[in-house]
Amino acid sequence: PPLRKRKTDISVLADHFIRIYNRENEKKIKGISREAMDRLMKYDFPGNVRELENIIERAVILSRSDIIETRDLPLHTQEFSEKAVLDPYNFHNGYEEKVRAFEREMILAALNQTDGNQSAAARLLAMTERHLRSRMEKLGMK
**Three-state helix/strand/coil letters over 63-124:** CCCCEECHHHCCHHHHCCCHHHHHCCCCCCCHHHHHHHHHHHHHHHHHHHHCCCCHHHHHHH
The confidence score (pLDDT) of residue 128 equals: 96
Question: For position 105, what pLDDT does the model report?
Answer: 81
| pLDDT, tens digit (0-9, with 9 covering 90-100), for 90-105 | 666 677 877 887 888 8
Low-confidence ranges of the chain (pLDDT < 70): 75-93, 142
Residues near 118 by Cβ (< 8 Å), separated by ≥ 6?
Answer: 111, 129, 132, 133
Domains of the chain: 1-78 (1.10.8.60), 80-142 (1.10.10)
